[in-house]
Structures are given as structure tokens and as C-alpha cells.
Amino acid sequence: MKILQTVERIPGGLMLVPLLLGALCHTFTPWAGKYFGSFTNGLITGTVPILAVWFFCMGASINYHSAGVVLRKSGTIVFTKIVVAWIVGFLCVMFMPKGMIQAGFFAGLSTLAIVTAMDMTNGGLYASLMQQYGTKEEAGAFVLTSIESGPLVTMMILGSTGAAYFEPHVFVGAVLPFVVGFALGNLDPELRALFSPAGKIMIPFFAFALGNTINLAVIGETGLLGIMLGLSVIVITGIPLIIADRTIAGGNGAAGLAASSTAGAAVTNPLIVGQMIPELQPIVPAATALVATSVVVTSVVVPIITALWYKRFGKRQEKQEELRVVSHHAA
């Protein structure tokens, strides 16, 4: 059976399929963890420890030498995404009610959900698109998008905009596994080679555990709003990213569009933030469902519009560059 191939054909499938299975378990058999106990209960309820290992392995996989090289070409993409998410978060704090909207079509929408959906790029999707429509340097920005992974950037944005307050020691505790992994991976290449593959292996496990915190009724209630959130992520982050790519990075805009997605790992951030700030825990299920829907929407739409953009503008730029080179040689 080609189970893995089938799962990977689904946009964000390695994250979303186990997430859905976990949500099904929680919706129809919420007692399963306590009933079976032992290791089964640990797998169902172990989101935080599993994520801690994943953050460590993610940090170990980043080579600071590679990050320095691609920064010259594509660092502006990551910086722009974070800045846009910060501006949006600041506006949300100014104009949205604290916590989340409680009634109407936008019920369940919160600053936590919006910032989480916007501040993390789907690095795998970006890298695959740039391998087809971009340059090696642009594809190399996948290394920098790893810096966005985990709660670090989300916590910085929420804290600096006033949406949440984190005790210094809690903030350090959230990023310490990533930092330790990064340090060890760069001190010893063999350790980086050992831990790097585990980053992908851990995804289905923490996705399943995370799914066991979600009631499918919440996803049903926020489905259309989640679709709108995903489309908003593409528009609100995509336009500044295109401009930054064309004016600063010297690209044709395709790299900017390819980065206007929501990372699958972003689904975990509402839970992590809720663990640190108990008063935010009531909004975690709705925020998680909204971000999960945004992951699906952006994973489907971003490749389509990136291909269309490249067909319209990328090939034209390549032809102009070829003509310039020919004219230069002729002269």
C-alpha cells in the first residue's frame, strides 16, 4: 500500500492527516487516552514533549553558514513576512476585542489566530516552488524560513504588540530546545546529520497529539472563516512580499508569492501560547481550527498563483536577461 505517497499528495498532508485523525479520536472517543493509559495516553496527550523534541531537531538542522549565504538573496523575504505579521498584529490589538470575537460571522477570530497564520511560511512548499520557478539562492531561503518555525516569532510579535505578556523565563523556556539544537548541530556536523531527519519524522506524532485537542464541531463552525483567513494571508502578506522581492531581492516576484503561505507547524502555536498564558486557553481550539484551515487553503492556492505569476512575469524577465546578455556579447 502506498500510504505515504497518498498522504503526501494532499497539501500539508503529513501534518493535516494525522491532525484530522486525532481530531476524530477526540470528537468521538474523548475518553480513549485515560481508558488505555500508559504509552497510548502519552501519545494522545503528549503534544508539548513531542514538540520540544521537534524544536530541538529543527534547530540542529540549520547550518549557520548556509543561512549566511542565502541571506544576501532571500533574507528579505523572511524579514518582510515577519514585519507584515507584526503590523497586522498591532492593528488587531488596536481594533479587535481582547481574546476573540464572540458573536457573528467572525466569532472565533482572534489576534492569536491571525498572527499565527501570517508569521510562518510553509518552507517545504516554498522550496519546491522555487526549485521550479526560482533560483538556487531563492530556494535556499528554505533554511531561513526554518527560523520562523516554532513559537519564537509568534511570541515576539504578540509580546511586542501588547497582545500578550510573557515572563522572561517562560520565553527562554520556549526557545531553549531550538537554541540548544542549533548550537549542537553547528558545533558538530555529525550531530546535525543525526538529528536533522528526525524533524520530519516527528511531524505526524505531534500532529496526532494536537488533533486530540480539537473538536471537529469547532472546525465545522469556523470553516468558511478559516478559508477567508487563508485567502487574506495570501493577499496581505503576498503583496508586500512581491514588492520586496522585486525591489530589494532583485527577483521577479515569484519568490514573494511562494512565501505567502501558512506553515503546517503554525497549527501548534495557539496551543503552545495557551500553555504559557492560561487566560488565552479558551480561544485555543478556535484559533487552532482557523489556522489549520488556512494551512490547507494556502497550500492549494499559493502554487497555482505562483505558477501563473511566473508564466506572466518570470519568463518575460528571463527573456529580457537573455537579450541583455546577447547584446552585451555582440557589443
What's 81's domain CATH number? 1.20.1530.20
**Does residue 324 fall inside a structural domain?**
no
Classify each residue of 81-94 as buried b or exposed e, where b means 16 or more C-beta atoms within 10 Å of its C-beta. bbebbbebbbebbe
**pLDDT, tens digit (0-9, with 9 covering 90-100), for 74-102:** 678 888 888 999 999 999 988 888 878 88
Crossing angle, helix 284-309 and helix 269-276, to 10 degrees? 150
**Residue 276 included in any domain:** yes
Please report the pLDDT score of residue 87 as a whole number.
94
Q: Residue 187 CB: number of other CB atoms within 10 A?
A: 9
Mean pLDDT to the nearest integer, 43-59: 82
Domain membership of residue 180 (yes or no) is: yes
Q: pTM of whole model > 0.85? A: no
Average the pLDDT over 229-254 and give the result.
90
125-144 mean pLDDT: 69
User: Cβ neighbours of residue 96 under 8 Å, at least 6 residues apart?
Assistant: 109, 110, 111
**pLDDT at residue 272, as a whole number:** 83
Non-local (6+) Cβ contacts of 126 within 8 A are: 141, 142, 145, 255, 258, 259, 261
Domain count, the chain: 1
pLDDT category of residue 331 using cuts at 50, 70 and 90:
low
Work out the pLDDT band at 124, boundaries 50, 70, 90. low
Region 247-260 average pLDDT: 86
**Is residue 56 included in any domain, yes or no?**
yes
247 is written with which cell numbers? 525591489
Nine-digit cell string for 123: 518552507
Domain assignment present for 323: no
Could you tell me if 69 and 229 are in contact, meaning their C-beta atoms sit under 8 angstroms apart? no
Q: What is the structure's pLDDT at 325?
A: 45
Closest CA to 196 of 54, 302, 49: 54
Question: Which pLDDT band, with edges at 50, 70 and 90, does 188 fall under?
Answer: very high
**Domain housing 110:** 13-318
Question: Is pLDDT of 243 > 50?
Answer: yes
310 in any annotated domain: yes
User: Percentage of residues in the chain with pLDDT exceeding 70?
Assistant: 82
Residues 246 and 252: their CA atoms lie apart, in Å, by 5
Residue 326 falls inside a structural domain: no
The CA distance from 64 to 73, in Å, is 15
Contact 207, 15 (CB under 8 A): yes
Select the more confidently predicted residue: 39 or 219.
Answer: 39
Return the higher-pLDDT residue of 197 and 62.
197
Q: Which of 244, 284, 267 is nearest to 12 (CA)?
A: 267
Matching residue, cell 467572525: 106
Residue 5, pLDDT above cutoff 90: no
Q: In this predicted model, which residue has the larger pLDDT, 150 or 119?
A: 119
239, pLDDT greater than 90 = yes
Considering the domain boundaries, does residue 8 fall inside one? no
Residue 22, Cβ density class (10 Å: 0-12 exposed, 13-18 middle, ≥19 buried): buried
Take residue 300 and report the three cell numbers written for it. 492549494
Please tell me the distance from the alpha carbon of residue 252 to that of residue 134, in angstroms, as a whole number: 9
Mean pLDDT of the 193-204 span = 84
Task: Name the pLDDT band for 150 (thresholds 50, 70, 90).
Answer: low
- Alpha-carbon Rg for the chain, nearest whole angstrom, is 20
- Does residue 326 register a pLDDT over 50? no
